[in-house]
Amino acid sequence: MNRREFVVTSAGALGVALVRGGRLQAAQQAAARITTTDLGGMTLLQGAGCNVLALAGPDGALMVDGGLAPNADALIAAVESSTKTSRINTLIDTHGHPEQVGANEAVGKAGGVILAQENVKRYLSTQVESVTFKGRRKALPVVARPTKTVRGDGSMEFAGQQIDYGYLPAAHTDGDLFVHFPKLNVLAAGGVISAEGWPLVDYKNGAWLGGRVRALERLAALVKPDTKVVPADGRALTGADVARHHDIYQKLFLTMIDYLNMGMGPEDAVTRRPLKQYEAEFGDSSRFSYGALRSMMIAYVPD
């Protein structure tokens, strides 16, 4: 090898090392942000982009939701560490927003099963838009798309646990699933409910306020007052919280009907602030109020 070849080869090796080092550093930083909480038989992981549930099994772990893609490696490592497993056997996507499906590709490449409502697979298989991000996002690679889809309700067994899942039509998107672990008294509610902010109604993808109310009504009937209810982000709630949230949104729904009957639009809903009494708890409600009435106009007013 002459001097020129040596310099080029060395530079290339250094470049690879820097890239690998950068990825390792990014993974370590993401891992430092991920926290784990024992829920009495399963683990809640936070900090990867959304709340993630993990359950140990004899042939790998089960995950509910997968965080953002840049955090996938760190999240999977944290799941495997907390469950003392060496692979992800099954990943359930509660819906198709980027914060939920970031680990899909890694799980798919490793041969894991990805389960979601059938509309989520369609959503992830094409260029899409959403109220949760600007512009349009490309379809996920084939390996990152759900390999098992469900249309409605069902159940499965994993590591001796019965796991019930159910379709919540038009609640947060058009592909929302809840995932219920009855023996553990834990419910993953996805983006239908939130403890620390207003969960948006993705009216660009089939959701509307009426669907949100129906979903909360169903969840409130399903849980016990002390059920641990895990939303898409933020702190865990209880079954009693779900009942309270249903009452809040049911009252809002009736208010929005009045607004429609008076010929008002989304901007009027923002001005009137029908949720102002809850803003100290959940923050500014302007964006949610706008989307809620916009969703009802789409549902009730023909094009």
Task: Using a pLDDT cut of 90, give the percent of the chain over it.
Answer: 83
Strands 113-117 and 88-92: parallel
Q: Rounded mean pLDDT of the chain? A: 91
Nearest-angstrom CA–CA distance, 141 and 296: 34
Within-domain flag for 13:
no
Nearest-angstrom CA–CA distance, 114 and 65: 10
**Bridge-partner residues for 43, per DSSP?**
38, 54
pLDDT of residue 134: 87
Within-domain flag for 76:
yes
* Region of poorest pLDDT, from 14-28, 34-48, 207-221: 14-28
Residue 217 sits in a domain whose CATH number is 3.60.15.10
pLDDT of residue 71: 97
Give all strands (DSSP E) within 59-212, no chain letters: 61-64, 88-92, 113-117, 128-130, 133-137, 148-150, 154-158, 161-168, 176-181, 186-190
Range of the domain at 50: 31-300
Tell me how crowded residue 68 is: count the other CB atoms within 10 A of its CB: 18
Report, as an integer, the average pLDDT of 261-271. 96
pLDDT of residue 20: 45
Q: Is the pLDDT confidence value at 120 over 60?
A: yes
pLDDT of residue 16: 43
Q: Is the pLDDT confidence value at 224 over 90?
A: yes
Burial-class residue 53 by CB neighbours within 10 Å (0-12, 13-18, 19+): buried
Q: Is the pLDDT confidence value at 45 over 90?
A: yes
pLDDT digits over 8-38, tens only? 444 454 454 444 444 455 555 556 589 999 9
pLDDT digits over 61-117, tens only? 999 999 999 999 999 999 999 999 999 999 999 999 999 999 999 999 999 999 999
Within-domain flag for 5:
no
Per-residue b/e over 16-51, b at no fewer than 16 CB within 10 Å?
eeeeeeeeeeebeebbeebebeebeebbbbbbbbbb
Within-domain flag for 71:
yes
Tell me how crowded residue 80 is: count the other CB atoms within 10 A of its CB: 17
- CA torsion, points 238, 133, 252, 276, in degrees to nearest 10? 90
Nearest-angstrom CA–CA distance, 88 and 77: 10
Nearest-angstrom CA–CA distance, 129 and 265: 23
pTM of this prediction?
Answer: 0.88
Please say whether the beta carbons of 231 and 255 come within 8 A: no
pLDDT of residue 17: 45
Q: Is the pLDDT confidence value at 272 over 60?
A: yes
Q: Which amino acid makes up residue 253? A: F
Count structural domains, the chain: 1
pLDDT of residue 8: 43
